[in-house]
Amino acid sequence: MKRELPVAGRQRAFSGIQPSGELHIGNYLGAVRNWVKMQDDYDLFICVVDLHAIIQPYDPSEMPELVFDMALTLMAAGIDPERATLFVQSDIPQHSELSWIFTTVTPIGDLERMTQYKEKSARLASVPAGLLAYPILQAADILLYLATVVPVGADQSQHVELTREIVRKWNARYGDYFPEPQALIGQAKRVLGLDGQAKMSKSLGNTIGLLESPEEIWEKLRPAYTDPARKTRKDPGNPFICNIFSLHQEFSSDEDIAWAQEGCQTAGIGCIDCKRRLGDNMIEELRPIRGRADELKANPERVQEALRQGADRCLGIAEQTMAEVKRRMGLDHVRSPSEAKVDAD
Ligand code: AMP
Ligand code: TRP
């Protein structure tokens, strides 16, 4: 089905997510839930960024399934391909092309200052250049579509700031063309993992997956870290330093939040009661997502069709952007394939 053109006046928003195999509640609360809400008010593009994912060693035979599963989970979480444009990065070759162009205006010092780069490179004996260039590809993702809004978790604001710097540098050389995009940080800025210490992240094994069963969710919540002051049930705690209470604020009603706060401060409830109520509320919110995922697993062609439709639309826009970029950079040597043929003859 041919999609309608975006309603005039809607801002274009772009975000990406790596096909890491699991969408967890940190991604959901920090980014995806926000994307779902934005679909009617923005011309929203959501990209499964497989070219970013290949910076880490991976098994090529698993990649297609990882990409498919991420797209499926996003649709289950509420991304509606009739309202948003869902696609896979490597389907659109212009992401890599624009990324190269931006490497020529990006200072290495800016890249070396990125927190994510510093953290990840410190753990590696040999650092691939792609890890350093990662934010340049991210800038290309956003700017290929001239997006002005980038809804992400707080950990990505530095990369969006660098995107703005790249815009200023490129525009200064080649004329005002790219807009400076703004990060839009979700309500849950930085969701901690079940260890209550580090950011929830698949690589740290401290996550709850969006499609996990009620039993699995409970198995993970039960031993989760709480305020260490609550050594026994009789010791009062401070809910404001407890990750379980933070999660209540995302998943629970105002009444349940007040109940958890008071119960913790007065030792009226035990941590296990607080976790059980949180678990029930979380399971309730995630239940329809699991249901939709099961439906899509039974009809995988719906996911494939969404990605095909997304790629079609993106390709049209990407070609226009690159034509203008190359024109401004003096790189449009051959204006059309038919002219090239004439020259060759
Ligand atoms: P990633 O899985 O790293 O590709 O992240 C996808 C999106 O989820 C990005 O917008 C991140 O900022 C966001 N995100 C990932 N982990 C968290 C977290 N623990 N808290 C909040 N947002 C997160
Ligand atoms: N770097 C982002 C992350 O790890 C993913 C991403 C890639 C992205 N390209 C993007 C986010 C463009 C926003 C816009 O979460």
Residue 157 and residue 161: Cα distance in Å, rounded?
A: 6
Ligand 1, atom nearest to 189 Cα = 21
Q: Which ligand is nearest to the CA of 89?
A: 2
Unique residue bearing structure tokens 């929203």: 44
- pLDDT for the residue numbered 4: 45
Residue 29: is its pLDDT beyond 80?
yes
Would you call 169 a catalytic residue per the annotation?
no
Q: What is the structure's pLDDT at 21?
A: 80
Residue among 37, 199, 220, 326 flagged as catalytic: 199
- How many whole angstroms separate alpha carbon 206 and alpha carbon 222? 13
Q: Are 15 and 31 in contact (CB under 8 A)?
A: yes
CATH 3.40.50.620 range(s) for the chain read 7-192+300-344
Residues in the chain: 345
Overall fold of domain 211-295: Tyrosyl-Transfer RNA Synthetase (1.10.240)
Query: In the structure, what pLDDT confidence band is assigned to residue 211 with cuts at 50, 70 and 90?
Result: very high
Known catalytic residue at 202: yes
Indicate which residue of 37, 120, 169, 326 is catalytic. 120
The pLDDT, as a whole number, for residue 2 is 40
Going by alpha carbons, the residue nearest to atom 6 of ligand 1 is 17
Distance CA 283, CA 292 (A): 14
pLDDT of residue 45: 98
From the CA of 36, how far away is ligand 1's center (Å)?
A: 15
Active site residue 199: yes
pLDDT at 233: 87
Looking at domain 7-192+300-344, which of 3.40.50.80, 3.40.50.620, 3.40.50.300, 3.40.718.10 is its CATH number? 3.40.50.620
pTM above 0.85, yes or no: yes
Which DSSP symbol is given to 239?
G
Residue spans in the chain of domains classed CATH 1.10.240.10: 211-295
The whole-angstrom separation of Cα 339 and Cα 341 is 5
Predicted confidence (pLDDT) per residue in 130-169, tens digit? 999 999 999 999 999 999 999 998 889 999 999 999 999 9
What is the DSSP annotation of 211-238? T--HHHHHHHHTT----TT-SSTTS---
pLDDT band at 305, cuts 50/70/90? very high
